[in-house]
Structure 1
């Protein structure tokens, strides 16, 4: 029996120097990508999209998680459910579009028809012994947290109680349950999903890459690095005191392993929103935030999402792995459900900053990936002050993968 000299994903992670970037193969290798799918993307809760994307009975959105196509839809009872987007007849995808609306879920191949709760209603000429009750759509775990939809492909999903309680409390004042999608954008970045998330977790690159964003969002690490509800920069602590007095949840809260965190931070110079002027983009504010300069509630969740909730609108982001070196990034801009385009907001004003920022991040990530593809690449050290968020991500990733791959290899 020949020995394969290629290090496994577990071995590469075990050999990583703390505080340093990952080995080349972990950013572009086929085996590492499959391991990421098997042990993270197929097992963790993933952000699917805002509930505002499925606003009425029959509305649906789709997503592709590795090999799994998933459809999320709102039923006649108002409940949001998720299913494997696979017909129980011969496997055709039921819904091919990214989003849409239909009274039922109808397979385009042979017109097998499912109710919005997944029950098979119609299958033509299947014979007297056919039992439609045995061919309901296969469900996917799904939960709506105050307008943020999460799904999990695992048979037994991990606990979500702590995240759910905190997220619902922090997001409630933003009124996502009374919002609508003003605009959405989907791009594919030619970079590994970890590079996309790493790039988001630091602003070391912001002054050199994001001139529009840096009009309102500070690239000072003291404005984003927090160690606890009473440990942050004086500016942030003062903002939290102000929010406390108004009953607005704002202080830093996080998972013990930093898989998720949320906190409300001020924008620079009491500016109101991510716009070129720094003023609100939407005249009709979302939710019940007490001031125009309430800042941004920032929420991230590994592996699939980062988000900003502002007084006038919200911007929510979903990433999905496409290949070892490709990642899909979808952005939704949410406004109050009664806000009228052209009257309450101008779409260009609303979207300019983050459309530009997304494209600038795409270029950064793609150049990062091209450099890592070189055999000359060696993992370099992270800045402990500027890239603390990246360290959190990579430590979380390595911890999860080490535990799960270790269990698998022990069994082998």
Structure 2
């Protein structure tokens, strides 16, 4: 037989393509987007193996040879600082017969040695020695697989893609907004993981809207104005600019997402919004939780929403930062990880109390866990039918539209 081969789509490709084509703009996603094995397979390939992921903070790797493991969907990545201070992201897979090279989640090494057959790798992943192999072994071809890594104000991002989206545009756009907070001069004060029996998209959708905040999060709603409709909270946000200018906190709006996103770049977003009177930060009583971050000179009674891609939002107050990771386990289970940063010189027990620091977002995330799991139960119902987004769900609609373009 001669001629061009026919294009054959596997059943999962047909199913997902049809679902995307049938989507009704302005509405929630159809049930299979949360329940289908085929859709989850596409999510893995088109989202999680392509996106940039927050893997850690430089304070976790202060010395040459320090490493940590970043795990995602069965893949394991070694993030390591070399002797020159550069960071590398390496597949935790020996080039001999595939054993895991690092077995501990973090540590310090002069070189990596595979525990199976003792192949040894340099900190940059190049092969140092292959025990009892012949002289014909091409060591230059047998280094650990390398991934792209970017360090932005102390935050370490990794992409598992051979051709990741451009990070430089985000770096340029966000630089003036992030620099005053001095995130490279912070440290991890606390971290927590919350297992959620739901598809990962329901976690991200929930995070991106505050339509539910008034009813579900009284602790958050009494301090943050964004649970109010735009006509009520925008006048309060307009007052932030003058206060922020006096303290050094940026108050500009940056929206390089969706149709505003430069070609080839990642979704990037920044805005600073008001807290209610009496609240200087995201605390139970409104009082400061830790020393001021970076170059800030005072309190502007506000918080910043920052996005580096669709999976890495962060919330930055004047005295601490809250970083989020949405981690899929399988199509039915996810983990929401939260990392709290404080100034690098802050001392627990003297400058901050961990329970006070984590209170708001711990109680809020525990409530979200229940909400999202009940959302998943409803989506699983034979009676589920997508409804229209409310005006206050505009950022969830942005996420849905961005997600569909990504997997299309």
Do both share a fold (TM > 0.5)? yes
2:271 corresponds in structure 1 to 263
Residue of 377, 383, 400 corresponding to 1:394: 400
Deviations 1:104-148 (A, max 9, x none): 333233333322211222332223333332221111011011112
Q: Contact (CA 8 Å) 2:240, 2:300: kept in 1 or not?
A: no
Residue of 39, 48, 60 corresponding to 1:41: 48
Residue 240 and residue 335 in structure 1: after superposition, are their counterparts in 2 closer, same or farther (change >3 A)?
A: same
Q: Contact (CA 8 Å) 2:292, 2:298: kept in 1 or not?
A: no
2:3 corresponds in structure 1 to none
Residue 319 and residue 5 in structure 1: after superposition, are their counterparts in 2 closer, same or farther (change >3 A)?
A: closer
Residue 33 and residue 266 in structure 1: after superposition, are their counterparts in 2 closer, same or farther (change >3 A)?
A: same
Residue 401 and residue 123 in structure 1: after superposition, are their counterparts in 2 closer, same or farther (change >3 A)?
A: same
Residue 107 and residue 4 in structure 1: after superposition, are their counterparts in 2 closer, same or farther (change >3 A)?
A: closer
2:281 corresponds in structure 1 to 273
1:200 corresponds in structure 2 to 207
2:65 corresponds in structure 1 to 58
Structure 2 residue matching 1:233: 3-state secondary structure: helix
Kindly report which structure 2 residues correspond to 1:1-16, keeping only aligned pairs within 5 A, or say none. Answer: 8-16=15-23
Is 1:240 aligned with 2:241?
yes
Deviations 1:62-102 (A, max 9, x none): 22333532221211211122111211122122234444433
Whole-angstrom distance in 1 between the partners of 2:332 and 2:187: 33
1:409 corresponds in structure 2 to none
Deviations 1:24-63 (A, max 9, x none): 1111211001111111222222222333333332232322
> In the TM superposition, what is the alpha-carbon distance from 1:197 to its structure 2 partner?
0.3
> In the TM superposition, what is the alpha-carbon distance from 1:380 to its structure 2 partner?
1.2
1:85 corresponds in structure 2 to 92
Structure 2 residue matching 1:60: 3-state secondary structure: strand
Deviates more, 1:159-168 or 1:375-384: 159-168
1:368 corresponds in structure 2 to 375
> In the TM superposition, what is the alpha-carbon distance from 1:400 to its structure 2 partner?
2.5
Structure 1 residue matching 2:225: 3-state secondary structure: coil
Q: Contact (CA 8 Å) 1:270, 1:293: kept in 2 or not?
A: no
Q: Contact (CA 8 Å) 1:263, 1:298: kept in 2 or not?
A: yes
Structure 1, unaligned runs of 5 or more:
226-231, 403-412
1:220 corresponds in structure 2 to 227
Kindly report which structure 2 residues correspond to 1:268-307, keeping only aligned pairs within 5 A, or say none. Answer: 268-282=276-290, 284-307=291-314
> In the TM superposition, what is the alpha-carbon distance from 1:245 to its structure 2 partner?
5.7
Whole-angstrom distance in 2 between the partners of 1:200 and 1:264: 17
Count of residue correspondences:
393
1:107 corresponds in structure 2 to 114
2:186 corresponds in structure 1 to 179
Is 1:330 aligned with 2:331?
no
Q: Contact (CA 8 Å) 1:280, 1:292: kept in 2 or not?
A: no
Deviates more, 1:13-22 or 1:236-245: 236-245
Deviates more, 1:53-62 or 1:17-26: 53-62
Q: Contact (CA 8 Å) 1:215, 1:278: kept in 2 or not?
A: no
Whole-angstrom distance in 2 between the partners of 1:100 and 1:214: 41
Whole-angstrom distance in 2 between the partners of 1:395 and 1:94: 39
Structure 2 residue matching 1:182: 3-state secondary structure: strand
Structure 2, unaligned runs of 5 or more:
1-7, 261-266
> In the TM superposition, what is the alpha-carbon distance from 1:166 to its structure 2 partner?
2.2
Whole-angstrom distance in 1 between the partners of 2:343 and 2:47: 34
Whole-angstrom distance in 2 between the partners of 1:111 and 1:330: 34
Whole-angstrom distance in 2 between the partners of 1:266 and 1:104: 49
Q: Contact (CA 8 Å) 2:224, 2:275: kept in 1 or not?
A: yes
1:406 corresponds in structure 2 to none
> In the TM superposition, what is the alpha-carbon distance from 1:170 to its structure 2 partner?
1.4
> In the TM superposition, what is the alpha-carbon distance from 1:306 to its structure 2 partner?
1.3
Q: Contact (CA 8 Å) 1:302, 1:393: kept in 2 or not?
A: no
Whole-angstrom distance in 2 between the partners of 1:395 and 1:237: 28
Q: Normalising by structure 2, what TM-score?
A: 0.89
Is 1:166 aligned with 2:166?
no
Residue 245 and residue 291 in structure 1: after superposition, are their counterparts in 2 closer, same or farther (change >3 A)?
A: closer
